[in-house]
Amino acid sequence: MAFDWFRRKEKNITTSTEDKKDVPKGLWHQTPTGKIIEHEELKANNYVSPEDGFHVRIGSNEFYSILFDDNKYTELDANVESVDMLNFKDTKAYSDRLKEVKAKTKLNDSIRNAVGKVNGTEMVVSCMDFAFIGGSLGSVMGEKIRRAVDYCIANKLPYMIICQSGGARMQEATYSLMQLAKVQSKLAQLSEAGLLYIAYLCDPTFGGITASFAMTADIIMAEPGALIGFAGPRVIRETIGKDLPEGFQTSEFLQEKGFVDFIVKRTDMKQKVSQTVNLLTNA
């Protein structure tokens, strides 16, 4: 005896199989607060959710499209790449890790240099890409910042670094830590040349980046709600044996304590950067 448990009484679905279409990936974005926003609307708002103001993590391509006039810029030093000078291996060989992340991100390393005009003012911007091994500081990042500074000095241009990083790249060991002194010495030369340096801190900015050039800029800006610090809150809590203040390590907390000059929404970023450059360079 056959039982018609799963037979439709009425034929409600009339779309043929060949006419069915999948929803494109990335069409919608959900923020941590649960707000849903259509991707094109998010892009039009500089990747800031209009529902709750959440700043979605983006890379150098998106930042450059926001900053540079008509998205026109020239990339500098694009072919500088990391190498496995220590033959380092953790869960996999560093050389294999580099191959995988380069193929996945289409980037050569965790930072890109570009020169272009921001509201008509020419400047150099170095932007980190968190998607490339957590935006980690390695020998290439140090070298590309050095070259960017040299370009600024040669052409008398202001400089900006957009920071989003988990810190030093452990696969390069001491070579990574050496970049802190290397970058700081170049930024000192930039200062001696009388040229402006702006740091724009995104979520997250941690480790050696925070311990050095992220906090030594002439003007330090940060995105709302960005986590900024040297070590994570758990490590600090266990070290000092005390509970941490509410909002500890957020950009708002650091501004209150004097570590950050301005909290700048990404939707206001271009105007604030050009305004700051024009005011200080004219002065």
The pLDDT profile of the chain, 283 residues, written as one tens digit per residue, is: 555 555 555 555 555 544 444 445 557 777 777 778 888 888 888 888 888 888 989 999 999 999 999 999 999 999 999 889 899 998 899 999 999 999 999 999 999 999 999 999 999 999 999 999 999 999 999 999 999 999 999 999 999 999 999 989 999 999 999 999 999 999 999 999 999 999 999 999 998 899 899 999 999 999 999 999 988 778 888 888 888 887 788 999 999 999 999 999 999 999 999 999 999 987 4
CA 260 to chain CA mean position, Å? 17
Read off the pTM.
Answer: 0.85
Q: 154, 124 in Cβ contact below 8 A? A: no
CA 272 to chain CA mean position, Å? 18
222-to-171, 191, 199, 210, 252 alpha-carbon distances in Å = 28, 21, 8, 12, 9
What CA–CA distance (Å, rounded) separates 145 from 77? 10
Q: 158, 196 in Cβ contact below 8 A? A: yes
User: What letter does residue 71 receive in the DSSP assignment?
Assistant: G
